[in-house]
């Protein structure tokens, strides 16, 4: 297994052409640390199967093994991250597992800044979520099964992010898809959950079909499945990609849209909240859904230059921008706290996607990095609340600040990080995205980029607004639930505190002109990343965005906070006794009831309905039924009619047989005439003989041919 390290010299020409804007990392090969990095995906994979078979008999029923595996990844990932920041690591290893034509099928692992980022996130956030799940899942009927599937996810995700080629990427891609399916459907007694799981799988499968096509076009054009080989050929101008670059880029982006739930493929993610909350935190917020962003980042050497990918990046920007705003708006009208966070996740993924589209590679990944901490934290907080009040609905919550102080304070940190309050994590990463977009817009005034700038700022407002609403409705006002709320046990609180520390400080790692740790981290790639670096924070953008965020928080707080009358009045404005049974009506406090807009938002822009009634139901109903009908009545009509004719012919023969042949035999006194009864047996009911006869006929026919 040769280490195909950094084709540094091969891209020299490329660097000259693009001047100093392309920065090529000076990196080592990571030595043994990189050479043994295959353990990172393999250990969780193996452990997942060990848990499946032996988990029940192990200490902690599988949780121990799972957490140990994640702990291993966390430690290895951290060590690699440190080594990468110190020396830089760019290494790639492949093992051949078969050849098809001239194409080599290989499993391997890439160790560079980008993959190390994902190792680190999956390991560290994963470990914390697994620890939390110990208590959260306690008493679950399928505790061991849960950890087997969850560890399978971690393994699949690591297979994905360590992939040096399209085939392995697709393997990891679908493995996380399957584990997502299993975990969304974890409570499989309830068919709604299975429907949610199927929706997730099928939405992704549609996008995956596009990903397959894109991967096929790119691989064929370069004669290899390997990313580094494809990029090298591309830079050297040796691919047959040509005008297919656009289509390949678009198809792959559609694949990314599925996994990262971009508009209009977002429909599965909110429903995916049917899974246990730790799953929502790790898979459907922090890591799995970022796979699409990761994919664009992995292929960034291709996407960054229009001479390869055409105008795909414009499409990426527009999709990301639409997603970040439209999904943020949907978060406003949700009652289920996890759904709010789900739409928020989609919206934040929109920021990342748009950032990569606009060429802000580091900014997009930086946001991925900070988002992993604060969104996992918010989900764990939501899980802690759900654990306490036995409901997902904010209309069953309220006033929890007093009962769950640790959850409250950590949730508040997560909120500050998400909406982008100085100096919490999201402030820095979102600012970098908006700054990059603005820089691009001023230097290369294109509609798409300005579109993104405006929508990003509006998105920041919306984010602040819905988070103010969530915090108000859950932690302030009066408690409206049935169960007696209580703070969660330490094993749940400790991971939340740890994530809160990350959510508070992760942003400090990449202050323009000051720290820039993440920039160094993620640009350590074999291929140059062309992007703009800021020498200092863009103060005037901060001066615009921060007031916008504060305004959003203020309005949200005014509308939904304790001073609002909403807590005590129904939708019609009448006073309601909160202890009365009709309190549910009262706290449909979603009094963000702008006429036209509200029904549109509540019905999710009718997109789910469109898919269901325009695509799924017709296919599974009339179209499938019609196909089957045609099969039975049209395609099969020819042989059936043929058989019918044969049957009547046989009947006719039998009649002749009965009246003539039998008569002849009877006349001649022959008993049980061989021919007579033989022919009579042609009549249906004795069809076996009929067929045997035809076979004999063919054999004789063949024999005659053979002999003469």
Partner 1 sequence: MQELFDSGWGLSLIVFLPLVGALVLALIPRRFEAGIKWTALVTTGVTLVLAGIMVSLFDFSATQEFQFGVDVEWIETINANFHIAVDGISLPLVVLSTLIMFLSVIYSWDHWPEPHNPKLLMVLAMVLATGMVGTFLALDLILFFVFFEVVLLPMYFMIGIWGDTGIRKVPVVNWEIEMRLYASIKFFLFTLAGSAFMLLGFLALYFASGDHGERTFDILELTALGTAGAFVGTFAFWVFAAIFAGFAVKVPMWPLHTWLPDAHTAAPTIGSVILAAVLLKLGTYGFIRIAIPILPDEARNWAWFIGVLAVIGIIYGSLACLAQTDVKRLIAYSSVGHMGFIMLGVATLTTIGINAAIIGMVAHGLITGLLFFLAGSMAHRYHTREMPRMGGQMTLMPQMGVLLGLAAMASLGLPALAGFWGEFMSLLASFNPLPGLSNSLFRTLMVIASVGTVLTAGYMLWMLRSINFGKPSGEWVSAQLKDVGTYEWIAWAPLVILIIAIGLYPKIVFGATNDAVINLVASAFGGG
Instruction: Closer to partner 1 by CB, 178 or 607: give it.
Output: 178
Instruction: Closer to partner 1 by CB, 202 or 600: give it.
Output: 202
Query: Which of 3, 35, 46, 171 touches partner 1 by CB under 8 A?
Result: 171
Query: Which of 35, 194, 412, 585 touches partner 1 by CB under 8 A?
Result: 194
Instruction: Closer to partner 1 by CB, 283 or 394: give it.
Output: 283
Query: Which of 632, 652, 660, 700 touches partner 1 by CB under 8 A?
Result: 632
Q: Is 242 in the site for partner 1 (CB under 8 A)?
A: no
**Contact mark string toward partner 1, 385..404, x via CB under 8 A:** --------------------
Q: Is 623 in the site for partner 1 (CB under 8 A)?
A: yes
Contact 414, 405 (CB under 8 A): no
Contact 69, 43 (CB under 8 A): yes
Contact 449, 367 (CB under 8 A): no
Cβ at position 593, least distance to partner 1 in Å: 36
Range 323-348 burial, b when 16+ CB lie within 10 A, else e: bbbbbbbbbbbbbbbbbbbbbbbbbb
Instruction: Closer to partner 1 by CB, 75 or 703: give it.
Output: 703
Strand partners, 100: 103
Query: Which of 167, 272, 388, 503 touches partner 1 by CB under 8 A?
Result: 167
Answer whether the bond into residue 264 is a cis peptide, omega within 30°.
yes
Residues 195-234 that bind partner 1 (CB under 8 A): 195, 198, 201-202, 205-206, 208-210, 212-213, 216-217, 219-220
Spatial separation of the C-alpha atoms in residues 323 and 253, rounded to whole Å: 14
Query: Which of 16, 191, 243, 672 touches partner 1 by CB under 8 A?
Result: 191
Spatial separation of the C-alpha atoms in residues 254 and 167, rounded to whole Å: 17
Q: How many residues does this entry show for the chain?
A: 708
Instruction: Closer to partner 1 by CB, 51 or 601: give it.
Output: 51
Q: Is 606 in the site for partner 1 (CB under 8 A)?
A: no
Spatial separation of the C-alpha atoms in residues 339 and 602, rounded to whole Å: 12
Instruction: Closer to partner 1 by CB, 547 or 622: give it.
Output: 622
Tokens describing residue 533: 């670096």
Instruction: Closer to partner 1 by CB, 178 or 508: give it.
Output: 178
Total residues contacting partner 1 by CB under 8 A comes to 69
Tokens describing residue 335: 């009652």
Spatial separation of the C-alpha atoms in residues 429 and 451, rounded to whole Å: 19
| Three-state DSSP string of 27-70 | CECCHHHHHCCCHHHHHHHHHHHHHHHHHHHCHHHHHHHHHHHH
Instruction: Closer to partner 1 by CB, 444 or 633: give it.
Output: 633
Q: Is 633 in the site for partner 1 (CB under 8 A)?
A: yes
Tokens describing residue 185: 């459907």
Cβ at position 106, least distance to partner 1 in Å: 11
Q: Max Cα separation, the chain?
A: 118
Question: CA dist 415 to 371, 408, 409, 684, Å?
Answer: 11, 10, 10, 78
Residues 634-653 that bind partner 1 (CB under 8 A): 635-637, 639-641, 643-644
Spatial separation of the C-alpha atoms in residues 113 and 518, rounded to whole Å: 9
Instruction: Closer to partner 1 by CB, 206 or 542: give it.
Output: 206
The C-alpha angle with vertex 358 and arms to 357 and 359, in degrees rounded to 5, equals 90
Q: Give the torsion sign (CA, 511, 514, 519, 521).
A: negative
Q: Is 188 in the site for partner 1 (CB under 8 A)?
A: yes
Residues 65-124 that bind partner 1 (CB under 8 A): 96-103, 105, 107
Instruction: Closer to partner 1 by CB, 159 or 661: give it.
Output: 159
Instruction: Closer to partner 1 by CB, 205 or 390: give it.
Output: 205
| Helix (H), strand (E) at residue 180 | helix 166-184
Cβ at position 497, least distance to partner 1 in Å: 37
Cβ at position 695, least distance to partner 1 in Å: 7
Instruction: Closer to partner 1 by CB, 127 or 200: give it.
Output: 200
Spatial separation of the C-alpha atoms in residues 327 and 323, rounded to whole Å: 6
Spatial separation of the C-alpha atoms in residues 475 and 467, rounded to whole Å: 12
Binding segment for partner 1 among 182-190, 523-531, 601-609, 667-675 (CB under 8 A)?
Answer: 182-190
Q: Is 701 in the site for partner 1 (CB under 8 A)?
A: yes
Cβ at position 693, least distance to partner 1 in Å: 11
When computed from its CA atoms, the radius of gyration of the chain, rounded to whole angstroms, is: 32
Residues 485-504 that bind partner 1 (CB under 8 A): none
Q: Is 698 in the site for partner 1 (CB under 8 A)?
A: yes
Instruction: Closer to partner 1 by CB, 599 or 614: give it.
Output: 614
Cβ at position 640, least distance to partner 1 in Å: 5
Spatial separation of the C-alpha atoms in residues 195 and 198, rounded to whole Å: 5
| Helix (H), strand (E) at residue 612 | none
Three-state DSSP class for residue 562 = coil
- Binding residues for partner 1, rule: CB under 8 A, are 96-103, 105, 107, 167, 170-171, 173-175, 178, 185, 188-189, 191, 194-195, 198, 201-202, 205-206, 208-210, 212-213, 216-217, 219-220, 619-620, 623-625, 627-628, 631-633, 635-637, 639-641, 643-644, 684, 687-688, 690-691, 694-695, 698-699, 701-702, 705-707
């Amino acid at each position: 297994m040769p280490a195909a390290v950094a084709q540094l010299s091969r891209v020299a020409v490329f660097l000259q052409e693009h001047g100093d804007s392309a920065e090529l990392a000076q990196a080592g090969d990571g030595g043994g640390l990189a050479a043994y990095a295959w353990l990172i995906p393999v250990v969780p994979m193996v452990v997942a199967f060990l848990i499946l078979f032996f988990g029940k008999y192990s200490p902690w029923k599988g949780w121990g093994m799972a957490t140990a595996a994640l702990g291993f990844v966390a430690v290895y990932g951290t060590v690699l991250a440190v080594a990468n920041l110190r020396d830089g690591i760019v290494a790639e290893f492949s093992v051949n597992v078969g050849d098809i034509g001239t194409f080599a099928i290989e499993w391997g692992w890439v160790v560079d800044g980008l993959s190390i980022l994902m190792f680190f996130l999956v390991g560290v956030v994963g470990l914390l979520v697994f620890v939390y799940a110990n208590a959260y899942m306690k008493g679950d009927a399928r505790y061991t099964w849960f950890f087997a599937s969850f560890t399978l996810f971690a393994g699949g995700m690591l297979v994905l992010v360590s992939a040096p080629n399209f085939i392995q990427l697709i393997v990891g891609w679908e493995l996380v898809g399957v584990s997502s399916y299993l975990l969304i459907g974890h409570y499989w007694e309830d068919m709604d959950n299975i429907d949610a799981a199927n929706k997730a799988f099928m939405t992704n499968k549609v996008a995956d079909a596009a990903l397959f096509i894109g991967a096929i076009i790119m691989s064929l054009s370069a004669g290899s499945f390997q990313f580094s080989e494809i990029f090298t050929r591309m830079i050297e101008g040796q691919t047959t990609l040509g005008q297919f670059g656009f289509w390949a880029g678009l198809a792959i982006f559609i694949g990314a849209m599925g996994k990262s739930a971009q508009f209009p493929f977002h429909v599965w993610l909110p429903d995916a909240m049917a899974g246990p909350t730790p799953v929502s935190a790790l898979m459907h917020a922090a890591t799995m859904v970022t796979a699409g962003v990761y994919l664009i980042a992995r292929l960034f050497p291709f996407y960054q230059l229009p001479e390869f990918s055409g105008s795909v990046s414009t499409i990426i920007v527009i999709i990301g921008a639409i997603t970040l705003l439209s999904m943020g708006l949907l978060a406003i009208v949700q009652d289920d706290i996890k759904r709010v966070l789900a739409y928020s996740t989609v919206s934040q993924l929109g920021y990342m996607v748009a950032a990569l589209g606009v060429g802000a590679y580091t900014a997009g990944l930086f946001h991925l990095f900070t988002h992993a901490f604060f969104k996992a934290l918010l989900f764990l907080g939501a899980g802690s609340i759900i654990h306490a009040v036995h409901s997902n609905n904010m209309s069953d919550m309220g006033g929890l600040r007093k009962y769950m102080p640790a959850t409250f304070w950590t949730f508040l940190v997560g909120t500050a990080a998400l909406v982008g309050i100085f100096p919490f994590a999201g402030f820095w990463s979102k600012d970098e995205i908006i700054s990059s977009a603005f820089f691009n817009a001023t230097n290369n005034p294109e509609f798409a980029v300005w579109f993104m700038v405006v929508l990003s700022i509006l998105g920041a407002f919306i984010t602040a607004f819905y988070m103010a609403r969530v915090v108000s409705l859950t932690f302030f006002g009066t408690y409206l639930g049935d169960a007696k709320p209580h703070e969660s046990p330490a094993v749940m609180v400790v991971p939340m505190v740890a994530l809160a520390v990350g959510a508070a400080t992760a942003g400090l790692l990449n202050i323009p002109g000051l720290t820039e740790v993440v920039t160094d981290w993620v640009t350590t790639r074999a291929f140059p990343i062309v992007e703009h670096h800021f020498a200092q924070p863009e103060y005037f953008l901060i001066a615009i965005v921060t007031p916008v965020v504060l305004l959003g928080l203020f309005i949200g707080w005014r509308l939904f906070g304790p001073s609002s009358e909403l807590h005590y009045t129904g939708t019609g404005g009448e006073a309601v006794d909160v202890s009365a049974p009709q309190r549910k009506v009262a706290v449909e406090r979603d009094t963000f009831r702008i006429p036209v807009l509200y029904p549109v938002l509540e019905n999710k822009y009718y997109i789910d309905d469109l898919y269901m009634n325009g695509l799924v139901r017709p296919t599974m109903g009339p179209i499938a039924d019609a196909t089957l009908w045609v099969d039975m009545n049209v395609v099969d009509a020819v042989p059936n009619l043929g058989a019918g004719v044969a049957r009547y012919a046989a009947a006719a023969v039998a009649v002749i047989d009965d009246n003539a042949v039998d008569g002849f035999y009877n006349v001649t006194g022959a008993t049980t005439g061989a021919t007579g009864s033989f022919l009579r047996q042609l009549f249906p009911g004795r069809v076996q003989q009929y067929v045997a006869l035809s076979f004999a006929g063919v054999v004789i026919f063949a024999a005659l041919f053979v002999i003469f």
